[in-house]
Amino acid sequence: MKDLLVHTCCGPCFVYPHSILKDTYRITSYYFNPNIHPSMEYMRRLETLAGFCSSAGVDLRVGEYDPQVYLRAVAGNENDRCRTCYSIRLNEAARFAAEKGYDAFTTTLLISPYQKHELLNQLGVEIGSHYGIEFKYWDFRPGFRAGQERAKELDMYRQPYCGCIYSELERYAKKLNTTMDAVRGNNRESRTTG
C-alpha cells in the first residue's frame, strides 16, 4: 500500500476523499492553510479535522500557521489570489511529502465545485515535478454533497466561506451592505429628528 499525503483544507472536505482512498492508500492528512482568516476560524477548522482524523484513525500533521505569508503574497494581486493561495499550499504539501518520503500527494480542494480544478491540477503537477513527487488528481466533485451530508451527520463544523479574508468579504457583502444602509439610514433620521 502506498503512502499518500492529502493536503486538507478542512474536515468536511476530507470526509469523502478519505472514504474512497482509505482502502488503496495509507493516508496522512496535512493541514497547512495560512490563507484562513481569522485565526479563530483556523482553529475551529483544525479542531474539527483533528476530531475526524482521531475517530477515523488517520495520521494528522499540521504545518505552521502564519497568515502574513498569504497576505503578503496576495497584496496587490487580489484578482489572482486563488492561484497564489493554491501555489503556497501545494508547494508546502509537496515539500513536506517529498521530505517525509510519501509516494504522492493530493488535496481536498479537489472536492469543491467552487475551486478551479484545471489550475489546481496544473499547479500540482508542476510543483510535484519540482520536488520529485507525484501529484494525484482526482475529481472528487461528484461526492461533494454526500461528503457534506456525512459531515452534517457527524456534527462537524462546516464553514460558511472558503477561508481567506477576501472570500469572507464576498460571502457576507450583501448582508454587510444591507446592515450599513440600515445603520446609515437610522443615523440620518436621528440627526434630523433630534
Reported residue count of the chain is 194
Domain count, the chain: 1
Query: What per-residue confidence (pLDDT) applies to 179?
Result: 77
For residue 6, what is the DSSP state?
E
CATH number at residue 156: 3.40.50.620
Residue at 82 is within a domain: yes
Count the Cβ atoms, other than its own, within 10 Å of residue 148. Answer: 17
Query: What per-residue confidence (pLDDT) applies to 127?
Result: 98
Residues 149, 118 contacting (CB under 8 angstroms): no
For residue 147, what are the contacts with CB-CB under 8 A and spacing of at least 6? 12, 13, 15, 16, 17, 19, 111, 140
Residue at 187 is within a domain: no
- pLDDT tens digit string along 102-112? 999 999 999 99
State pTM to two decimals: 0.88
Q: Residue 9: which of 159, 186, 127 has the closest Cα?
A: 159
What is the rounded distance in angstroms from the CA atom of residue 8 to the CA atom of residue 20? 15
For the chain, list residues with pLDDT below 70.
Answer: 173, 186-194
Residue at 185 is within a domain: no
Burial 11-49 (b: 16+ CB within 10 A, else e): bbbbbbbbeebeeebebbbbbbbbbbbeeebbeebbebb
Q: Residue 56: which of 140, 141, 151 has the closest Cα?
A: 151
Residue at 176 is within a domain: no
Q: Which set of grid coordinates corresponds to residue 182?
A: 440600515
Residue at 186 is within a domain: no
Phi, then psi, of 139 in degrees rounded to 5: -90, 95
Query: What per-residue confidence (pLDDT) applies to 194?
Result: 47
Query: What per-residue confidence (pLDDT) applies to 149?
Result: 96
Residue at 156 is within a domain: yes
Residue at 137 is within a domain: yes
Residue at 125 is within a domain: yes
Query: What per-residue confidence (pLDDT) applies to 90?
Result: 98
Look up the domain containing 114 and give its range.
Answer: 2-163
- pLDDT tens digit string along 111-145? 999 999 999 999 999 999 999 999 999 999 999 99
What is the rounded distance in angstroms from the CA atom of residue 147 to the CA atom of residue 19? 9
